[in-house]
Structure 1
């Protein structure tokens, strides 16, 4: 039987997000991330980070973040597990990073509605030192990336407005200040006050102005 047909590639490579085609709007942009640099995180709810890491490495992941949400769970991880996780990662040439716990661990010293507490700040500082020491077990070469949230409290917010001259400026929408007497966080938003002055005198106070006169 004569062969009057040819067999070509059935599965043609499609569009790749990390290697855009010629008509992509991202052509010419620098700093693309190689796919092998993308990683996963272990289950932050379990203390058995060793098993969670093994499962991820078996899937071919080359970058993994170790960590827990709760400090109590993180403290349950045996120190020997960090050494073993380093060995497992070395066998498959994977890179590890560490994420410090975030529940109740505010390095700035604010403990929820209780406001600022120096004892709480010192306790969190000691716990973060323990996190760094365990990171040494994960990477004995040093310089391991460690993610630490600087604060768990809501911060100030900003917005852009256009003034009477048509200039677009960045101004404070809400500033978060600390009450010196109670140590609690106080949100400050723009406020308008009315004063009797042979009628009604209307004055607006920006968050920054309120903070200056407080």
Structure 2
């Protein structure tokens, strides 16, 4: 009996979206820039790497313990909220709202909270959830589609960004006039042909 992919498309969409959100959450960037953040706070790189590793491992162990007690959805919700809060901490640390030791606490704390939040939910729970939400008759193919989304994260991200660039191109082509070598009156006439000039 052939599979009805249209019938199963909502669950495949959920799985694909979860893996895309996992990658787009910024975890790779946080890992990549964590050493820089710690270094700017005066923390040696080996201590920084060890701290991130210990927090990551601790979060994974906590997730293992709480997964069956709190449920997958609860851990995912808490994880995404924790990551959002940690990015908020980073944003405040990078602004002019705080200074001195507060910047160090917010930036280093933000990195560690992000890693902990990711490790407690979005990291380990997503893969487990996928294996549970797909019916057995489509599990292999659906997992393949979702994993393709996961591995093509940069492709999707850059495609979205390229799309915005194309929108920008079309917007400028349609709405922006050339101002080089033109007077203000000529520019206004080009932008507002029916408007009455007041010059």
What range is the shorter-chain TM-score in?
under 0.3
Larger of the two Rg values belongs to structure: 1
Higher strand share: 1
Higher helix share: 2
The TM-score with structure 1 as length reference comes to 0.24
Which of the pair has the greater relative contact order for Cα pairs under 8 Å at 6+ separation?
A: 2
